[in-house]
């Protein structure tokens, strides 16, 4: 990709399949949740990742940080391969678990109800042996709580005693505890009240600037990430179909699926918004257990041709840093 950028993570042909019940002993069935995804994440950027429910955003985020074991492909972190299915390298993941963290979509489900907030935030400090002294550990937990807008008395309470927004702040403190470089923010605000969503987003932006963090910011909706992302990637049925700088993607989407997604986002000017035609997709999103051959979007794409039904389009660059996977674009 762009050579002027400092690449923190390079992902090549990454696949994650889940084996599911129902196959025969001769032929197992797999959910092809992530299929041959390649892209880079630049140091210090926020890369937004959008797409409909079930398109593989969470699976991709979790596979990149090796919370899920990849099925195949290659992941390079800061120049060092941390997964390579061809080379079969053995990597001690412990140092990378410290560098790469995740904030989960549902804060209440991601916090152990039997642990106090202090124990939850302190657990990673213990695993990575970051604060051997008791007082040092206590001070570190208190300063983390302070950084996310909670206070020191909260350390002795349990997750159920907090609101959704506060629970997400606990999740953020836990992720920050080990001083990570890269954080997968998996829809960190979608379970929160609208009134507190912007507070949490602002806090994540401030923390990013202060700690030079790199984010992969997952959202259902482009309107959530368009203002906070440097670039945006669009997924459809396990694949990356378009990737570009945020303003470029929102103002000049070139993949038919992205054009559909954007046609549903209201414009700030209500007159323009009413005048714009909304593109409606026909049919449901196909099952990742048996995805369509060729371009996975062909069953719903208004421009599909015979070639689209048999040949998978590759993600190619059309204009600086603007990538898309569509046969239509190749004709120039």
Q: Where does this chain bind ligand SF4 (CB under 6 A)?
A: 256, 295, 297-298, 301, 303-304, 308, 313, 326-328
Nearest distance from C-beta of residue 33 to ligand SF4, angstroms: 20
Decide which of Mg ion, ligand SF4, ligand ATP, none touches 304; Cβ closer than 5 to 8 Å per partner kind.
ligand SF4
Is the distance from CB of 260 to CB of 282 less than 8 angstroms? no
Could you give the C-alpha distances from 96 to 41, 64, 75, 122, 224, in angstroms and in order?
16, 11, 12, 18, 29
CA atoms of 217 and 188, how far apart (whole Å): 8
Dihedral of the CA atoms 129, 134, 139, 145 (nearest 10)?
70
- Of the pair 67, 328, the CB lying nearest ligand SF4 is at 328
CA angle 100, 103, 105 (to 5 degrees): 140
How is residue 238 written in tokens? 């396990």
Alpha helices in the chain (DSSP H): 57-64, 94-99, 107-110, 117-127, 134-147, 164-176, 194-211, 222-225, 246-251, 256-263, 270-275, 306-310, 327-330
Q: Which of 58, 71, 208, 214: binder of Mg ion (CB under 5 A)?
A: 58
CA angle 60, 245, 172 (to 5 degrees): 50
Nearest distance from C-beta of residue 53 to Mg ion, angstroms: 7
End-to-end Cα distance, the chain: 20
| 289 closest CA partner among 60, 59, 29, 54 | 29
Of all residues in the shown chain, the one whose CB is closest to Mg ion is: 58
Q: Which of 9, 55, 177, 228: binder of ligand ATP (CB under 6 A)?
A: 55
How is residue 159 written in tokens? 């997750």
**What DSSP state is assigned to residue 265?**
S
Decide which of ligand ATP, Mg ion, ligand SF4, none touches 288; Cβ closer than 5 to 8 Å per partner kind.
ligand ATP
59 is an interface residue for ligand ATP by CB under 6 A? yes
Decide which of Mg ion, ligand ATP, ligand SF4, none touches 198; Cβ closer than 5 to 8 Å per partner kind.
none
Decide which of Mg ion, ligand ATP, ligand SF4, none touches 298; Cβ closer than 5 to 8 Å per partner kind.
ligand SF4
- Of the pair 67, 130, the CB lying nearest ligand ATP is at 67
Nearest distance from C-beta of residue 288 to ligand SF4, angstroms: 17
- Of the pair 149, 292, the CB lying nearest ligand SF4 is at 292
- Of the pair 55, 176, the CB lying nearest Mg ion is at 55
List binders of ligand ATP among 268-297 (CB under 6 A).
Answer: 288
Is the distance from CB of 140 to CB of 131 less than 8 angstroms? yes
Nearest distance from C-beta of residue 84 to ligand SF4, angstroms: 29
Nearest distance from C-beta of residue 196 to ligand SF4, angstroms: 37
Decide which of Mg ion, ligand ATP, ligand SF4, none touches 220; Cβ closer than 5 to 8 Å per partner kind.
ligand ATP
CA atoms of 104 and 97, how far apart (whole Å): 15
Site string (14-53) toward ligand ATP, x via CB under 6 A: ----x-x----------x-x-----------------x-x
Nearest distance from C-beta of residue 124 to Mg ion, angstroms: 22
Residues that bind ligand ATP (CB under 6 A): 18, 20, 31, 33, 51, 53-59, 220, 288
Residues that bind Mg ion (CB under 5 A): 58
């Amino acid at each position: 990709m762009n050579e002027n950028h400092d690449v923190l993570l390079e992902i090549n042909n990454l696949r994650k399949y889940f084996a599911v019940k129902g196959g025969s002993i001769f032929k197992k069935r797999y959910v092809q949740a992530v299929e041959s995804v390649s892209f880079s994440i630049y140091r210090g950027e926020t890369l937004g990742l959008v797409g409909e429910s079930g398109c593989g955003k969470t699976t991709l985020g979790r596979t990149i940080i090796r919370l899920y074991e990849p099925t195949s492909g290659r992941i390079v972190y800061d120049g060092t391969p941390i997964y390579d299915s061809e080379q079969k390298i053995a990597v001690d993941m412990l140092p990378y678990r410290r560098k790469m963290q995740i904030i989960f979509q549902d804060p209440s489900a991601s916090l152990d109800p039997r642990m106090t907030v202090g124990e939850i935030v302190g657990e990673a400090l213990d695993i990575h042996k970051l604060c051997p002294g008791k007082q040092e550990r206590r001070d570190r937990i208190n300063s983390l709580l302070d950084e996310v807008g909670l206070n020191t008395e909260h350390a002795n309470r349990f997750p159920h005693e907090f609101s959704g927004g506060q629970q997400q702040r606990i999740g953020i403190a836990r992720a920050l505890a080990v001083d990570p470089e890269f954080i997968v923010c998996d829809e960190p605000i979608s379970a929160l009240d609208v009134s507190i969503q912007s507070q949490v987003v602002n806090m994540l932006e401030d923390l990013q600037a202060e700690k030079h963090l790199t984010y992969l910011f997952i959202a259902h909706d482009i309107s959530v990430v368009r203002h906070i992302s440097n670039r945006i990637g669009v997924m459809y049925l396990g694949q990356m179909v378009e990737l570009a700088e945020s303003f470029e993607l929102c103002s000049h989407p070139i993949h038919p699926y992205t054009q559909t997604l954007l046609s549903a986002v209201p414009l700030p000017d209500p007159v323009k918004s009413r005048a714009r035609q909304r593109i409606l997709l026909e049919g449901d999103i196909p099952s990742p257990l048996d995805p369509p051959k060729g371009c996975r979007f062909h069953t719903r794409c208004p421009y599909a041709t015979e070639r689209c039904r048999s040949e998978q389009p590759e993600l190619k660059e059309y204009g600086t840093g603007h990538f898309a996977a569509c046969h239509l674009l190749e004709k120039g």
